[in-house]
Structure 1
């Protein structure tokens, strides 16, 4: 029985992958789950103020999980990670031409960088490898979300964030479902009883989940929400 759903935001609750506008269908999906007694958490690479604000306005009652699982807010702060990338890693990313996220000043552990239009996005793996050469020495890793490149502590990750959030709520892994679309969601999608993604998710994600929606973005999320509810009603 699914009692708790942890969902990514960008590309999963937005209109489509690559878009940042929250889908009305996704909001309806979250409220449908909540109305059926299933708590929903937003888990994002965004900073806590953004994630926590969205959680409240959308109507999700589960913990807000931000910075790719590094920090959780539920009746107070829970720091999963215990450090922040040093200035050297930040300087390397900027010298490569990456643009620092405006949210970094509000972050505790995870730093995000965007790839500007004048840089070749097909070389994302090259950017990651270059930064990882230095970051690994400090105990940090690099993730690509489909929206931004993130540098975070090795013990961070959405899978760890969902695991701890589930424990805070008192739910077992078999009572948890996870939904996402990007490469930084993969470890999370391996946690719990059920995993799903929108139709326009990355190929790596599609190869990981148990259910792939027939529709993209937020429309796909609503489809997944209805699937979870209908499946439980039929048992």
Structure 2
């Protein structure tokens, strides 16, 4: 019996502002059948609060697993050392790179008009970050996005990829999370807190940062719009998001 369903956001629950009515109905059906819901996303708590509240979801695993919130309040968090974030800000200043830093309540940036941020905002949507005024007053940061090429990322990772969880989602943009973190780790932390076995969980995703999560649960479900690498790891492959993929999976494999 499935006790919890975890959902990636972009490309899984919604695309920009489009969220199928069938998905809303499927989530309601899950709740009526006693299934707890959680978001599990690379985005920040700040960015998904309106979606979480709109859908009546209490739990959000954000920043690729580095932050877990209940109704917007931090329950667990694995933040970078402040000195690491300060060093990144100095490197970004030196190379002219844009940074987006995810805190528990706000997003921060060192450049308001970075062209890559503007492009990402147009392609997938981002809320407006707050401009960092001083590197001496850095809040807890759970994820960084660096707008740089693969060849330039060593300035931030030191060339030691094992020190961090990395997800390059554009040739010019990379997520950096604390080492050992990914969506599966964050989800497992929530399951331990709730006393739920991973075999009692369904997880939905479409991107490479969903790879570990899909592999770690009893019902790993890849969206029809996912890449082949993720589909090969999934227990089930449903229809694409825009073709009622969530509703199809819920009715076919979870609520029968």
Query: Would you say same fold, with TM above 0.5?
Result: yes
**Rounded Cα–Cα distance in structure 2 between residues aligned with 1:98 and 1:217:** 35
What pairs up with 1:69-108 in 2 under 5 angstroms? 69-74=65-70, 76-83=73-80, 85-89=84-88, 99-101=98-100, 104-105=107-108, 108=141
Other-structure match for 2:34: 37
Query: Higher RCO, 1 or 2 (CA under 8 Å, sep at least 6)?
Result: 1
Which segments of structure 1 move beyond 4 Å, counting only runs of 4 or more?
90-99, 127-133, 145-148
- Per-residue deviation at 1:65? 0.9
Rate the CA distance shift 1:102–1:67 in 2: closer, same or farther, 3 A: closer
What pairs up with 1:104-119 in 2 under 5 angstroms? 104-105=107-108, 108-113=141-146
Q: Gaps (5+ residues) in structure 1?
A: 116-123
When the two structures are superposed, what TM-score results if normalisation uses the length of structure 2?
A: 0.72
- How many residues end up aligned between the 2 structures? 217
Other-structure match for 2:196: 171
Tell me the secondary structure at the aligned position of residue 189 of structure 1: helix
What pairs up with 1:42-61 in 2 under 5 angstroms? 42-61=39-58
Query: Which structure's CA Rg is the greater one?
Result: 2
Other-structure match for 1:143: 167
Structure with a larger share of its residues in strand: 2
- Per-residue deviation at 1:224? 1.4
Tell me the secondary structure at the aligned position of residue 201 of structure 1: coil
CA RMSD of aligned residues (A): 3.0
Rate the CA distance shift 1:225–1:193 in 2: closer, same or farther, 3 A: same
Tell me the secondary structure at the aligned position of residue 244 of structure 2: helix
Which of 179, 194, 206 aligns to 1:181? It is: 206
Rate the CA distance shift 1:225–1:157 in 2: closer, same or farther, 3 A: same
Structure with a larger share of its residues in helix: 1
